[in-house]
Amino acid sequence: MKGAAYTTYLPETKVPFILHNNNNTASDLNTLIHEGGHAYIQCFVLIWNILFRDVPLEIAEVASKAMELISMEFWGIFYLNPEDLKQAKKAKLKEIIKVLPLYAMAETFQLWMYENPTHSTEERHNKWTEYHRQYTGGITDYSGYENIFSSGFQKNMAIYTLPLYMAAYCFSDFGAIALWRNYKKDPVIALEQYKTALSLGNTRTVPELYKAAGIEFNSSPAYIKELMDFLKQQIAELE
């Protein structure tokens, strides 16, 4: 069970505020740092007129996800046992590879729903089952629990509250990985570009914000493979 958290800001004092409940698991660290990324961008955008404070999701999530990855260089402060540190880093990187197909699955499912507004409950459950098997390889045996499995979309809050939100998560993961790769090459330049992009708020287009961060707004198969190869290399170095 993961802890829950969110970040907002206090309009009078113009400072960010994080509400985070811990549950004494490894996710506590990731969650707090993730929300810290959202809080960090708030420190920049609150100087703007209210029209320019609400940054696009594609860059807002880069702020938080990149902070998670960059912070791994300092996790030794938290994980004092070297083996625990190595395991935590591997788990984090493998999780990124694992969830990307799930984001795509949720988006494909939502698109089908909106394009077929008169679909029945049975059709909806069948379609979720179909897409889940397609995007995960169907390796999990849910025999005897088909009725629960087919309604798995119900636990994805974003499907109800933020339609097509998962697409932004895909782009932001690509952006965060690219930014972390830049950081490993030159930390000073990467952090300056990171701060520059965040400081622009909602005054630029998404591709322009990514460019300011020194990364690409790109979802081509070749680019995704390049980023995944980088992640696999980082995981291999931790083995």
Pick from 23-32, 79-88, 143-152 the range whose average pLDDT is largest: 79-88
At 2 the pLDDT is 55
Res. 221: pLDDT tops 90: yes
Residue 226: the pLDDT is 98
In terms of DSSP bridges, do strands 15-20 and 5-10 run parallel, antiparallel, or are they unpaired? antiparallel
What phi and psi values does residue 4 have, to the nearest 5 degrees?
-110, 155
- Most confidently predicted of 22-31, 135-144, 228-237: 228-237
Residue 75 banded pLDDT, cuts 50, 70, 90: very high
Residue 3 has what pLDDT?
Answer: 57
pLDDT value, residue 147: 86
Q: Please give the average per-residue pLDDT across 195-216, as a whole number.
A: 95
Q: Do the beta carbons of residue 196 and residue 179 sit within 8 Å?
A: no
pLDDT at position 1: 44
Higher pLDDT pick, 47 / 56: 56
- Contact (CB, 8 A) for 53 and 201: yes
DSSP conformation class of 19: E
d(CA 65, CA 35): 9
Q: Which H or E element spans position 6? A: strand 5-10
Count how many Cα atoms sit within 13 Å of the Cα of residue 108 in the half-sphere of its side chain.
15
Q: What pLDDT does residue 86 have?
A: 96
**Tokens encoding 71:** 């912070």
Cβ within 8 Å of residue 202, ≥6 positions away: 45, 48, 51, 52, 53, 54, 55, 56
Task: Report, as an integer, the average pLDDT of 145-169.
Answer: 88
- Residue 101: pLDDT band (50, 70, 90) is very high
With pLDDT > 90 as the criterion, what percentage of the chain qualifies?
A: 67
**How far is it, in rounded angstroms, from Cα 170 to Cα 182?**
19
Q: Average the pLDDT over 139-145 and give the result.
A: 86
Q: How far apart are CA 125 and CA 153, in angstroms?
A: 9
**Tens digits of per-residue pLDDT, 17-27?**
888 888 778 88
- Cα 224 from Cα 174, distance rounded (Å): 7
Residue 59 pLDDT level (bands cut at 50, 70, 90): very high
Mean pLDDT of 160-169: 89
Q: Please determine, for residue 96, whether its predicted confidence score (pLDDT) is greater than 60.
A: yes
Residue 200 has a CB neighbour count (10 Å cut-off) of 18
Q: For the residues 166-184, what does the mean pLDDT come to?
A: 96
- Alpha-carbon distance of 87 to 94, in angstroms, equals 10
